[in-house]
Copies of this chain bind each other. A is one copy, B any other.
Amino acid sequence: MASDRSNLAIALLHHPVYNKRREVVTTALTNLDLHDIARSSRTFGLERFYIVTPSADQRNLARRITGHWQEGWGAGYNPDRREALGIVRICPDLESALSELQSAFSKPVRTVITGATQRPGSIGFPLFREMLSENDQPYLLMLGTGWGLTDACFAAADYLLEPIAGRGSYNHLPVRSAAAIMLDRLISQQQ
């Protein structure tokens, strides 16, 4: 199916992110992040969802998870899940994700970073939604795991997207849920 929104892709980065003590670490893959973000991405018409981790073991694990639903018993049992996991691409670093996405577009890929904290200079969802209507301009939306992407990642990205605010001071959405809300705000026809 051709999608006019395939110019948006998501990357879930397991490195470089902070841990609770603000040390830069590589987080472990979360099975459900992979499944849920793949299903939400596929539901909203995305064609690429990058799982990024420098750990070869973790990339093998990601391949096993997606392979199960692609080829094994899971493929016949749950074809919808196979279709979602078909958009997952597994990469060792941001550069290789960018270069894979770039291979499908002629305009240079722009990176958009986001996190749970308000930072100066962010763009809002309505503006990013409008930017996405330029169909031939690819964007990679970078999501962090652990306690968030490093400051260096934020400094290097082309755009900073505003965080999702709840009500009151408590704001601890799982990355899986935040991704679903972002896709809904950026792509849903309801808005």
- Chain A interface residues (CB < 8 Å from chain B): 1, 3, 5, 32, 35-36, 39-40, 42-45, 80-81, 83-84, 124-125, 164-174, 176-181, 184-185, 187-191
In the complex, what's the smallest C-beta–C-beta distance from A147 to chain B, in angstroms?
11
Q: Is the CB of A40 within 8 A of B173?
A: yes
In the complex, what's the smallest C-beta–C-beta distance from A156 to chain B, in angstroms?
26
Q: Is the CB of A167 within 8 A of B36?
A: no
Given A3-B167, A44-B166, A180-B181, do A35 and B174 touch, yes or no (CB 8 Å)?
yes
Q: Is the CB of A166 within 8 A of B45?
A: yes
In the complex, what's the smallest C-beta–C-beta distance from A116 to chain B, in angstroms?
10
Number of copies of chain A assembled together: 2
Q: Is the CB of A170 within 8 A of B32?
A: no
Given A40-B177, A181-B180, do A172 and B3 touch, yes or no (CB 8 Å)?
no
A37 to B147: give the CA distance in the assembly, Å. Answer: 20
Q: Is the CB of B172 within 8 A of A84?
A: yes
Contacts of A83 in B (CB 8 A): 170
Closest B residue to A84 using CB positions: B172
Given A181-B180, A185-B184, do A39 and B172 touch, yes or no (CB 8 Å)?
yes
Q: Is the CB of B190 within 8 A of A43?
A: no
Q: Select A5's contact among B42, B167, B171, beta carbons within 8 Å.
A: B167
Contacts of A191 in B (CB 8 A): 191
